[in-house]
Amino acid sequence: MWFHLLRNAKKSKESTLDSEPIKNYIHFLEIPLKIVGCWDWYKNPTKDREIIINNLYLGAVLFSIINVPITLFVHVYIEWVDIMTSLDILADCLPFAVS
């Protein structure tokens, strides 16, 4: 009954503490920054295709960031009754306006 406990206690446990530390953490941030348009998809574009892809993606991200708040502002302007009834709609637009 105690044999398996003693046998497991004598085994040396491998530790990851002695492993080599990561020196460059930038690869953890690279994909999220590329998705939001803060980082180019191609670092050093050499072909025209790579330059066009970088610029088109940046344009699409900027369009989506600008389009949503403008649409909400126009909707609030058209449907405006008073400040309290439109406050909920204005609160929906706040994160996009801040970004």
pLDDT at 14: 67
**Please, are residues 57 and 37 in contact by the beta-carbon 8 Å criterion?**
yes
Q: Where are the alpha helices (DSSP H) in the chain?
A: 3-10, 26-35, 48-78, 83-98
What is the rounded CA–CA span in Å between residue 99 and residue 27?
A: 24
pLDDT at 45: 86
Q: Is residue 9 part of a domain?
A: no
| pTM, entire model | 0.53
Name the residue range of residue 59's domain. Answer: 42-99
Mean local confidence (pLDDT), 45-61: 89
Question: Could you give the C-alpha distances from 57 to 8, 29, 54, 79, in angstroms and in order?
Answer: 55, 18, 5, 33
Q: Is residue 60 part of a domain?
A: yes
Q: Is residue 31 part of a domain?
A: no
Does residue 58 surpass a pLDDT of 80? yes
What is the rounded CA–CA span in Å between residue 57 and residue 52?
A: 8
Domains held by the chain: number: 1
Does residue 13 surpass a pLDDT of 70? no
